[in-house]
Amino acid sequence: MTWRDVDLGSCAEILTGPAFRSASFTDNADDIPLIKGDNIGQGVIEWSKSKHWPSNDADRYQRFLLSPGDVILAMDRPWVTAGLKHACIRSNDPKALLVQRVARLRGGNGLSTRFLRSVIASRSFSEYIKNIMGGTNVPHISAKQIGSYRFKLPSLDEQLRISDFLSDYDDLIENNRRRIELLEQSARLLYKEWFVHLRFPGHEHVMVVDGVPKGWEKVLLSHMCDDIREAVRPNDIDPKTPYIGLEHIPRRSITLSEWGRAEDVTSNKFRFRQGDILFGKIRPYFHKVGFALTDGITSSDAIVIRPHAFDLYHLVLMLVTSEHFVAVASKTAKEGSKMPRADWNHLKAFAVTVPQKSLREAFHDAIAPIVAQLKTLAFHSRTLSIARDLLLPRLMSGEIEI
C-alpha cells in the first residue's frame, strides 16, 4: 500500500464565497438558499435558517453554486463544544450558494471528494482546527490554514475501499435520522389531532363549550411542571458527565441525541435527569427544545422542565415543543441587546386545557412507544458514530487494511 504525506491545499480545491448584500436577502423559498456559517452544524445543514438570494440574479454567481458531494466548512466559529461545523452537500439538497466565511472543498490531484469527506470528519482535522483558531470575540480560520493541514493520502483504490466501508456507517446513521424525523412528525400530528383540533377518541360524544370539552379544565403550565434550577459546578462531578449546551440542541427536533462532557466546560450549569425537557432560552424562535436521553448538566441558558406527574409527561413534552408554544415564548421573550431570552415567569402562566386522567393516560399509551423508539434510534446512531470515529483514524493511517 502506498501512502504519501500531503498538504490538504495541494490536493483539494478550496473556495470561499463572496460577500452578498444583506439588503437583497429574501425569505422566498423559490429563491436560492445561502449557506452561511450559522447554517452548518456537525455534519448537517440547517436549511430552515437560510436566507435566500433572488433567482434572477444567480447567473453571475455560478462559480459559487454548490454541487452534490461538496464539503463545506464554517470559517467563523468553526469549532464549538459539539464539534467541527462541517457538512456535505447531498444529492437531494436544494441548489445553494456559498457565501463569505464559508469554505467549499473538492478533491483533486489524487484525492477523491468522497475520501476528502473522511479527512474533514476526522478527529485529527477537528483538533487541528480547534488549535489554530484565531480571534477573541469571533474565533476564525483562513483558507490558507485549512490548506496547511497535513495527512497521509493513500492510493485512489484504497481511498475508494475506505470510503465504501465508512459509508455503510453513514447510511445507517442517515436512515436513523430520517426515521426519527418521521416518528417526531407522527407524534406532533397526534398531539394536534387530540388537543388542537379536539378529535380525541370519543370526541363525537363530548360536548364542547367555548372551545373546552366537557370534563376538561384550564390550568396554568406551572400546575403541570416545574422549572428545575439545580446549579452544579463542573469540577464537582464526573468529567465524563454528559453536557448539553445550546449548540447540541437541534432545531425542531424533540430528540436530544448529541452532547459533550462536563470536562469541556468551566462555568456553573444546571443538572437535569433523563427525560427532562430542555428549552433553549436564547433566541427562542430557533425552536431548540427536546427531551434528554440521559442524566447530565446543561447550559444556564436552557430551561429544565420537569412534569409533576407521569400521566402529564407526554402532554407537557408535546405542548412545549409545539410551534404555538415556541411562538409564545418568542413573543414574550425578554429583549436583550442582541439576544432575546425566553422568560419562564411568562411561560409558567401559559393557559393549558387539560383532559381528564383517563384521556391523559390514553395519550401516554399512544406517544410512549414513539418516544421509546426515538431513544432507541438515537442511541443506535451514537453507537455507530462512535464506532466510525474510532475506526476512521486507524483506517486513514493505514493501521487497519480493508
Same structural domain, 215 and 130: no
CA distance 205 to 45: 46
Percent of the chain scoring above 70 in pLDDT: 99
Q: What is the CATH number of the domain that holds 236?
A: 3.90.220.20
Tell me the pLDDT tens digit for each residue of 351-380: 999 999 999 999 999 999 999 999 999 999
Tell me the pLDDT tens digit for each residue of 205-245: 999 998 899 999 999 999 999 999 999 998 899 999 999 99
Same structural domain, 261 and 363: yes
Average of pLDDT values for 248-276?
92
CA distance 141 to 146: 7
pTM over 0.75: yes
Same structural domain, 102 and 182: no
Q: pLDDT band for 136, please (50, 70, 90 cuts).
A: confident
Same structural domain, 124 and 248: no
- Confidence (pLDDT) at 336: 63
Same structural domain, 294 and 333: yes
Same structural domain, 142 and 202: no
Host domain of residue 262: 175-367
Tell me the pLDDT tens digit for each residue of 34-63: 998 888 887 888 887 788 999 999 889 999
Q: How far apart are the first and last CA of the chain?
A: 11
Same structural domain, 141 and 181: no
Residue 67, φ and ψ in degrees, nearest 5 = -120, 155
Same structural domain, 115 and 255: no
Same structural domain, 111 and 13: yes
Domains in the chain: how many in total?
2
The answer as to whether 394 is a domain residue is: no
* CA neighbor of 41 nearest in space, from 66, 74, 76, 89: 74
Same structural domain, 243 and 179: yes
Give the number of other CB atoms < 10 A from CB of residue 29.
Answer: 10
The answer as to whether 263 is a domain residue is: yes
Same structural domain, 114 and 183: no
Cα 82 off chain centre by: 10
Same structural domain, 110 and 199: no
Angle between helices 313-320 and 357-397 (to 10 degrees): 70
Kind and range of the H or E run holding 161: helix 156-191
Give the number of other CB atoms < 10 A from CB of residue 186.
Answer: 13
The answer as to whether 372 is a domain residue is: no
